[in-house]
């Protein structure tokens, strides 16, 4: 390979497919799939081919910007950081620390900034981290916490050993959300012994290739899941031996479903009895795994739907079982474990929402800002997030941000959100900094790929972690870093570790400020705060990770002997004497050696490496409930679950004259990449951002394909071109997300989030219910 070719990953979705890119004159010029990538194995979608349009465009930031009466003006880093810190300190001292919130970090391809964002929040004393994970998946995490004792690690489908995929609200052919999803889906759909079953109110591209598409009425996912469970239990098709061995609460749950009126339930979903019974027979006899995504999770009864499909998997014996859904391992959890012992401190000020796994749903943020409570959120730091285009209810976000006393945005581009900020700080892009992601998408292997910088950033762009560290320093959050620690960071990493251990004993708030200390010492030596943070993450791993890493060749036991080498004993003794404390003794732990080996391997393996293996047959041991069994009963959901009956739902689902149709607000397509590609050329000549409508409805409303129509909801109105399509049912329309880009004075498509209300959300998780928005469509006579 010539020197200008590099291995890296696509950063446009969470799968991070392997790429080979050519860089000439500091620009990405050619992109190819990495055929030898251990995970994506040469697969990429069309978005991956367009990462240059994410990297190089006219909206890239080149200076810190300050908003003045004349608009944005470039300022120096020193000026920006010192003025921001003064404003923030003032707001916090006039109010309370909870008047500050952090949004973002952990974007699709870069997770290390969140280490710094979380530390910044801790130092300020606010718990509020608003993140997109809480926009779609935290209900699933919460259910997993209740049933498996693992909010941090919900089960993932084992498609390698399953003979059937149950895809619920998942259009993997377009949205992926599983590595090599289109290839896997096509394999299941065409294999004579395998099956792909789709339950979806949309006729997605996944539904089109499926063996079976159960096309339920919009908004009836919970009714349908209840009916499936009822059929299995009323027919005694459950997996009794699995339930007896591994499940608690079956006797309490079963009677609720024995009374369920199956014909009435299925009728409300628009599904005939034969179709449902045949599916249940397959579910009770096949080796199937579940993939549930936003068609269901961003729909009515979101958290209940997660609960019901988890129950369905359990009564069929599909959890923690080969070919079912398995609890994966990780290097760092995406969502931490925050269970029932929530304090008042953790609840939001206005709506009193609790976090799930340390994250708050972006959907509630406008109300937490735009209210009259004296302690409401008044200052916000946003990093790598564009809520004005990405989240439900653009108007509510705009109003809320106008009400903020202070908004700072860290980003690579002058986004629609950055335009509203008081200060905008230029960050290095994913291809200009060291970074990685911690998604646990693989089983039994634990995989990590560290991306190195390929492009030289402008001198004014910094790694996000460095920006937050500098801001923390300006705020006075950093402990006094000793000269000996700074000097040690320029030596070998073992010497630095011993100095760090010694320093940690005497520095107050060392733990909270740990990433910042690393950034200012090792980060400087390595020329990367992110790299230093990763080194810190690896050094602080617990026993479980270490044992798994041992199975991947990063020996733990043999490390003991090398840790006890003469050099190490001498270095530790010297550090103990110099610093007059015994913390450096920890430097003799075998884990230190192991972490260093892993770190070394990651920096030398641009295509990533396996950091551990799990045992298929031991997955039940990953359950962390008190009795070690799967828990079927969640009392907090009991009333809600019971309230979902065919009778009541048919009243709730009745369409009104004002809004006779249902808008599916947002769907993945080959032409949208969230809001991450700003250069519009990549979709030039393609038809995108249309309103999709069933031919019968188009006929009913006398609208032709290509005609302009207005879609009107309670929240707003947008006008777009109509596309007649069989991908939606009669009575539905569909508009993709990700449009509404403003670039170089031109607009590209319309932002569907103008049509959604942030109050239309799940009562438990706050997830927006984008998939079910009552609307009407009017033809425009242009
Ligand atoms: S956008 Fe496409 S190429 Fe990029 S990571 Fe996702 S699936 Fe892979």
Average pLDDT over residues 731-753: 94
Closest Cα to atom 6 of ligand 1: 13
Q: Which tokens is 714 given? A: 């309670």
Looking at the chain, the whole-number percentage of residues with pLDDT higher than 70 is: 98
- Residue 702 lies inside a defined structural domain of this protein: yes
Ligand 1 centre and the CA of 174: distance in Å? 10
pLDDT of residue 558: 55
Asked if residue 708 has pLDDT above 50, the reply is yes
Closest Cα to atom 8 of ligand 1: 17
Asked if residue 99 has pLDDT above 90, the reply is yes
- Which residues form the pocket of ligand 1, taking CB atoms under 6 Å from any ligand atom? 10, 12-13, 15-17, 44-45, 47-48, 176
pLDDT of residue 459: 85
Nearest-CA neighbor of 298 among 753, 655, 629?
753
Ligand 1 centre and the CA of 45: distance in Å? 5
Nearest-CA neighbor of 489 among 500, 480, 478?
500
Comparing 647 with 342, which gets the higher pLDDT? 647
How does DSSP classify residue 345?
G
Distance between CA atoms of residues 50 and 56, nearest Å = 10
pLDDT of residue 578: 75
Same domain? 287 vs 408:
no
Looking at the chain, the whole-number percentage of residues with pLDDT higher than 90 is: 88
Least confident window among 232-246, 544-558, 753-767 = 544-558
Q: What is the extent of the structural domain holding 603?
A: 478-613
Same domain? 219 vs 318:
yes
Q: At what angle do helices 464-474 and 529-539 cross, to 10 degrees?
A: 90
Residue among 42, 55, 176 to mutate when testing ligand 1 (max atoms within 8 A of CB): 176
pLDDT of residue 120: 97
Residue 709: beta bridge partners? Answer: 720, 779
Residue among 11, 16, 17 to mutate when testing ligand 1 (max atoms within 8 A of CB): 17
Q: What is the CA radius of gyration of the chain?
A: 26
Q: For 546-575, what is each residue's pLDDT tens digit?
A: 999 999 999 986 545 555 566 776 777 777
Measured from the Cα of 13, ligand 1's closest atom is 6
pLDDT of residue 564: 59
Q: Which tokens is 540 given? A: 């602080």
Same domain? 275 vs 375:
no
- Residue 464 lies inside a defined structural domain of this protein: no
Place of tokens 């369905």: 312
- Residue 243 lies inside a defined structural domain of this protein: yes
pLDDT of residue 782: 59
CA separation, residue 780 to residues 521, 688, 702, 719, 731 (Å): 62, 19, 11, 8, 19
Domain ends where: 425, 456, 487?
456
Residue 156: beta bridge partners? Answer: 326
Same domain? 515 vs 538:
yes
Give the CATH number for residue 217.
3.40.228.10
pLDDT of residue 90: 98
Ligand 1 centre and the CA of 18: distance in Å? 9
Ligand 1 centre and the CA of 589: distance in Å? 40
- Residue 646 lies inside a defined structural domain of this protein: no
Average pLDDT over residues 645-651: 96
Average pLDDT over residues 390-414: 97
CB atoms within 10 A of CB 684: 7
- At 1, the pLDDT band (50, 70, 90 cuts) reads very low
Nearest-CA neighbor of 139 among 304, 15, 327?
304
Asked if residue 535 has pLDDT above 70, the reply is yes
Q: Is 235 helix (H, G, I), strand (E, B) or coil?
A: coil
Nearest-CA neighbor of 725 among 168, 204, 296, 173?
204
Same domain? 564 vs 669:
no
Q: For 428-475, what is each residue's pLDDT tens digit?
A: 999 999 999 999 999 999 999 999 999 999 889 999 999 999 999 999
Q: For 664-701, what is each residue's pLDDT tens digit?
A: 999 888 998 888 999 999 999 999 999 999 999 999 99
How does DSSP classify residue 429?
-
Residue among 12, 174, 180, 439 to mutate when testing ligand 1 (max atoms within 8 A of CB): 12
The count of residues in the chain is 782
Nearest-CA neighbor of 605 among 31, 99, 14, 39?
39
Cα-flanking dihedrals φ and ψ of residue 741, to 5°? -70, 135
Task: Give how many domains the chain has, as a whole number.
Answer: 5
- Residue 469 lies inside a defined structural domain of this protein: no
Place of tokens 């009677």: 255
């Amino acid at each position: 390979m010539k020197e200008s070719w590099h291995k890296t990953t696509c950063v446009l979705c969470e799968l991070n497919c392997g790429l080979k890119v050519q860089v000439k004159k500091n620009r990405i010029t050619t992109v190819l799939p990495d055929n030898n990538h251990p995970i994506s194995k040469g697969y990429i979608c069309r978005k991956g081919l367009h990462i240059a349009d994410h990297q190089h465009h006219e909206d890239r930031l080149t200076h810190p910007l300050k908003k003045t009466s004349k608009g944005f003006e470039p300022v120096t880093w020193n000026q920006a950081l010192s003025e921001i810190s003064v404003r923030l300190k003032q707001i916090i001292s006039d109010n309370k620390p909870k008047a500050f919130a952090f949004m973002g970090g952990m974007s699709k391809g870069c997770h290390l900034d969140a280490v710094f964002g979380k530390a910044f929040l801790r130092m300020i004393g606010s718990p509020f981290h608003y993140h997109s994970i809480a926009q779609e998946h935290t209900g699933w995490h919460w259910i997993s916490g209740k049933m498996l004792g693992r909010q941090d690690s919900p089960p993932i489908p084992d498609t390698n050993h399953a003979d059937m995929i149950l895809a619920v609200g998942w259009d993997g052919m377009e949205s992926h959300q599983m590595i090599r999803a289109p290839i896997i889906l096509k394999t299941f759909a065409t294999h004579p012994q395998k099956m792909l079953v789709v339950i979806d109110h949309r006729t997605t591209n996944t539904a089109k290739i499926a063996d079976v598409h159960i096309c339920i009425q919009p908004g009836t996912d919970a009714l349908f899941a209840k009916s499936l469970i009822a059929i299995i239990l009323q027919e005694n098709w459950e997996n009794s031996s699995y339930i007896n061995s591994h499940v608690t609460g079956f006797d309490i749950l079963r009677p609720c479903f024995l009374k369920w009126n199956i014909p009435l339930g299925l009728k409300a979903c628009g599904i005939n009895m034969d179709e449902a019974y045949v599916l249940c027979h397959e579910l009770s006899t096949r080796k199937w795994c579940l993939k549930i995504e936003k068609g269901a999770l961003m729909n009515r009864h979101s958290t209940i739907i997660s609960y019901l499909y988890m129950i369905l998997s359990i009564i069929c014996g599909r959890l923690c079982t080969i070919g079912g859904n398995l609890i994966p391992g990780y290097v760092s959890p995406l969502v931490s474990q925050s269970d029932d012992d929530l304090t008042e401190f953790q609840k939001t000020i206005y709506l009193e929402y609790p976090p799930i796994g340390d994250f708050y749903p972006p959907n509630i943020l406008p109300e937490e800002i735009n209210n009259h409570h004296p302690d409401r959120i008044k200052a916000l730091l946003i990093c790598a997030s564009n809520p004005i285009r990405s989240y439900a209810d653009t108007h509510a976000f705009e109003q809320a941000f106008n009400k903020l006393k202070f908004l700072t945005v860290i980003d690579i581009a002058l986004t629609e959100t950055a335009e509203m900020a008081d200060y905008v700080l230029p960050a290095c892009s994913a291809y200009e900094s060291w970074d990685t992601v911690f998604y646990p998408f693989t089983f039994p292997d634990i995989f990590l790929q560290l991306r190195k910088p390929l492009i030289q950033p402008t001198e004014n762009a910094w790694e996000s972690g460095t920006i937050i560290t500098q801001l923390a320093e300006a705020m006075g959050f950093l402990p006094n870093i000793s000269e000996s620690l700074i000097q040690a960071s320029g030596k070998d990493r073992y010497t630095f570790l011993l100095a760090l251990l010694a320093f940690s004993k005497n520095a107050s708030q060392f733990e909270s400020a740990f990433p910042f200390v690393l950034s200012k010492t090792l980060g400087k030596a390595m020329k990367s705060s992110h790299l230093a943070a990763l080194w810190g993450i690896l050094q602080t791993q617990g026993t479980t990770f270490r044992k798994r890493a041992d199975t991947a060749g990063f020996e733990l036991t043999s490390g003991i002997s090398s840790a006890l080498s003469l050099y190490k004993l001498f270095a530790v003794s010297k550090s103990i004497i110099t610093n007059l404390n015994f913390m450096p003794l920890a430097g003799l732990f075998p884990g230190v050696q192991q972490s260093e080996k892993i770190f070394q391997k990651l920096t030398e393996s641009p295509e990533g490496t396996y950091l551990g293996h799990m045992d298929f047959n031991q997955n039940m041991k990953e359950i962390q409930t008190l009795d070690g069994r799967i828990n079927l009963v969640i009392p907090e959901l009991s009333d809600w679950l019971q309230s979902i009956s065919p009778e009541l739902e048919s009243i709730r689902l009745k369409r009104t004259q004002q809004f006779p149709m249902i808008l599916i607000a947002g769907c993945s397509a080959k032409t949208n990449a969230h809001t991450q590609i700003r250069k519009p050329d990549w979709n030039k000549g393609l038809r995108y951002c249309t309103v999709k409508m069933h031919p019968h409805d188009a006929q009913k409303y006398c609208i032709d394909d290509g005609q302009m129509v207005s879609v009107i909801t309670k929240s707003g109105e947008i006008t777009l071109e109509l596309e007649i399509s069989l991908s939606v049912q009669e009575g539905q329309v569909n508009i993709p997300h990700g449009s509404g880009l403003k670039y170089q004075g031109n607009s590209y498509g319309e932002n569907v989030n103008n049509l959604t209300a942030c109050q239309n959300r799940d009562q438990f998780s706050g997830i927006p219910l984008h998939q079910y928005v009552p609307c009407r469509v009017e033809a425009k006579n242009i």
